[in-house]
Amino acid sequence: MAATGPSLFVASTLVTSMAGNSGRNRCLSSFRAMAVSADQKSSPATVSTRSTENGRWLEEKNRKGRKEEEELTSNIYSNPQEITDEKGKTLREYFQECKDLMIQSKAGPPRWFTPLECGSHAPDSPLLLFLPGIDGMGLGLFKHHHKLGKIFEIWCLHIPVSDKTSFTDLVKLVERTVRSEYKRSPDRPIYIVGESLGACIALDVAARNPDVDLVLILANPGDPLRMAFENVAKGLMPHQIVGELTQDLVAMSSYLSVLADMLPRETLLWKLQMLKSASSSANSHLHAVKNQALLLCSGKDQLFPSEEEAQRLYHMLPKCEKRVFEESGHFLFLEYGFDLVTAIKGASFYRHGKYLDYVSDYIPPTPYEFKKIYESNRWVLAVTSPVMLSTLEDGKVVRGLAGIPSEGPVLYVGYHMLLGFELAPLVLQFLMERNILLRGIAHPMMFTRAKEGRMLDLGSFDTYRLMGAVPVSGSNFYKLLSSKSHALLYPGGVREALHRKGEEYKLFWPEQSEFVRMASRFGAKIVPFGVVGEDDVGELVFDYNDQMQIPSLRTFIKELTEEVVHLRIDASGEVSNQDVYLPGVVPKLPGRFYYYFGKPIETKERKEELRNRERAHEVYLHVKTEVEKCIAYLKEKREEDPYRNLMTRLVYQAMHGFKAQVPTFEL
């Protein structure tokens, strides 16, 4: 029942999709940033920019509502090449806002504020508290406010330049806020995003409040003290240090004067001393932190040893995950290519309640997120030139996905090619052509580990989670169908995706039915499908049987398998062999991928009939037979395709344009 797969989106085994769900509708009203005293226990004050005249405001609200509705019904993924990049603010704008905020509040106690760009959120959105570094401005999430504001209620902590609040008192301030909000909404998680000093505060607050559901997101948690004191000893001020680390010289000219105001020498020395006590306190309390934590670190952080410190924390915190952004520098949140919302979604860290619900908590990819995924897999589409066939209600086979049901629930049941080669073209084409997001029922190895070892880092599978994959379980299967999703299921699972030599296009399904009765309970349509082409892109030359003959590799396979959650432990036969290994494949001059979706099998009117195990098993065998027929049809028909070979396709595209659809065999 589960899919599985190695690292790349193209070489995976799991993604599925959910049709047309676009998450929750969000209001678009905006708020002006306003400061609130640290002693004030209410939410941050906000001033709406909308008109005070009810009629004008209602008209504007209705106009925005109609626009959102139009966006929901149109296919925003149809042409990823035309999706424009998200317009983020520049560093120059960031420095200007820092300057404006300093002018507005040079004195006074620390306070919470909500940035204008955050807009408004759904009523059940979790609270996100941002704790700044030693600059204290609270604008560190400047480039992410708009996207974060759609899914979080955001409060940012601002510490005025002249403020001398101690680390202990800052911890108490944040703790009061956390306790107050927890009392108000005990079932809602509270996210704390912190960098440097803010990360120390976050860890201390978490250690002091084990009963509160806190989710920690810590950016570049390096050892700031050693580097900071070394630089001060050398006589370097912060603006000199930063000047050596940035290539944006134009922005730097704006930044130097602002930074000098933000951290004059007296303030800098005060905050470095506070950072010393903060670091000491956080380290002494690490053993008490049991919260879910996500560490974000830069691979090219020249200021702090972020990766080293993140690795230390990763091993000390029991519920911790780590993501490394190899090309990023120290100022991770301010870099153009980094997206905090995407990082949170990809790591499956976004939830509304005490526990993550992979179905109701899921937020579909934004157009720009989809564009990035498409571009990273564009070469797969180019070299395999997928042919997709579907079956209309009258039984006619057509090119394209016109025969695919529009409304869910729909269950797609098919054959898993080697390493899940078929997944990227399949999922991408469904979104682009039909605006259907397939939600894959995947092997748990994509989400968790039985123990640490040699398996790929969980971050390797973030794209699958971003595209809606869920770990295989009866409850997740139930939730997908009950929410009318389009779900993708591979009964052959690991055994089929990691098959041996000579086993291509052979199904490894369990003897007993696993999905028919659940599908019939919700009246889901079952769409059998086949796919061929793996033997045209590579030849399996070093398989499981070969590797098990070598003692060192046999041990390696055993270690890999022990690291993942075991499925089908009660099954018998080949399908119960869930060993994890990496097959040796020799690439070929690419042929073509072919997909054939058979006529949907209705279960809506057979709900009572299919409660019977024998009847359900008959349908199960029928679905399996249909999948085998789809594969046989494709294997036969591809022999008639004059464009099966890559070279003939390239010649055709050279003559007709590379955006032209390459023909195939006669239907």
Segment 17-50, tens digit of pLDDT: 223 333 333 232 222 333 333 334 444 543 332 2
User: Pairing mode, if any, of strands 436-438 and 17-19?
Assistant: antiparallel
pLDDT-derived band at 119 (thresholds 50, 70, 90) equals confident
Residue 168 pLDDT exceeds 90 = yes
Name the one residue in this structure whose structure tokens are 């299921």.
489
Residue 8 pLDDT exceeds 80 = no
Alpha helices in 490-548 (DSSP H): 493-497, 516-521, 534-537, 544-547
pLDDT-derived band at 243 (thresholds 50, 70, 90) equals very low
> Range with the lowest mean pLDDT among 177-191, 247-261, 267-281?
247-261
> Range with the lowest mean pLDDT among 146-155, 510-519, 536-545?
510-519
Name the one residue in this structure whose structure tokens are 């029991």.
318
**What's the whole-number mean pLDDT along residues 54-82?**
57
Q: Kindly report the three-state secondary structure assignment for every residue of 358-375.
A: CCCCCCCCCHHHHHHHHH
The pLDDT, as a whole number, for residue 269 is 77
The pLDDT, as a whole number, for residue 569 is 62
For the chain, domains (ranges, CATH) are 17-21+364-656 (no CATH), 31-58+105-346 (3.40.50.1820)
Burial level of 91, CB count in 10 A (0-12/13-18/19+)? Answer: buried
Residue 273 pLDDT exceeds 90 = no
Alpha helices in 142-190 (DSSP H): 145-151, 167-184
Residue 126 pLDDT exceeds 90 = yes
Report the distance separating Cα 366 and Cα 84, nearest Å.
Answer: 12
Q: What is the mean pLDDT of the chain?
A: 82
The pLDDT, as a whole number, for residue 663 is 96
Report the distance separating Cα 432 and Cα 427, nearest Å.
Answer: 9
pTM for the complete prediction? 0.85
Residue 143 pLDDT exceeds 50 = yes
pLDDT-derived band at 238 (thresholds 50, 70, 90) equals very low
Long-range contacts at 265-273 (CB < 8 A, ≥ 24 apart) = 265/237, 267/161, 267/162, 268/134, 268/232, 268/237, 268/238, 269/232, 270/164, 271/134, 271/136, 271/197, 272/134, 272/225, 272/228, 272/229, 272/232
Residue 496 pLDDT exceeds 60 = yes
Of the CA atoms within 13 Å of residue 12, those in its CB half-sphere come to 30
Which segment, 27-36, 265-274, 359-368, is predicted with the most confidence on average? 359-368
The residue ranking higher by pLDDT, 564 or 626, is 626
Of the CA atoms within 13 Å of residue 172, those in its CB half-sphere come to 6
Segment 365-413, tens digit of pLDDT: 999 999 999 999 999 999 999 999 999 999 999 999 999 999 999 999 9
Segment 470-482, tens digit of pLDDT: 999 999 999 999 9
The pLDDT, as a whole number, for residue 120 is 77
**What's the whole-number mean pLDDT along residues 256-272?**
70
The pLDDT, as a whole number, for residue 88 is 73
Q: What percent of the chain has pLDDT over 90?
A: 57
Query: Under the phi-then-psi rule, with left for phi > 0, alpha for psi from -120 to 50, and beta for the rest, what region is 542?
Result: beta
Alpha helices in 352-461 (DSSP H): 367-384, 423-434
The residue ranking higher by pLDDT, 588 or 35, is 588
Which segment, 6-10, 107-111, 322-326, 525-529, is predicted with the most confidence on average? 525-529
Q: Which of 215, 220, 203 is nearest to 296 (CA)?
A: 220
Q: Which of 623, 585, 379 is nearest to 498 (CA)?
A: 585
Residue 232 pLDDT exceeds 70 = no
